[in-house]
Amino acid sequence: MDAILKALEKDTTGIMQEIDTQESNADIDTEATADLDALSQRDQATDIYNLLRQSKETAENTVAIVKKYQNISRNDIGPGALIETTEHFFLVGVVLPPLDINDKKVIGIPLDAPAYANLEGKKKGDEIHLGEADYLILSVQ
pTM across the whole model: 0.76
| C-alpha to C-alpha distance for 140 and 73, rounded to whole angstroms | 9
* Domain boundaries of the chain, sorted by first residue: 2-70, 82-140
3-state secondary structure of 36: helix
- Pairing between strand 104-109 and 133-140? unpaired
Residue 134 per-residue DSSP state: E
3-state secondary structure of 4: helix
CA angle (113 as vertex; 109, 114 as ends), nearest 5: 125
For 78-113, what is each residue's pLDDT tens digit? Answer: 999 999 998 999 999 999 998 999 899 999 999 999
| C-alpha to C-alpha distance for 54 and 9, rounded to whole angstroms | 16
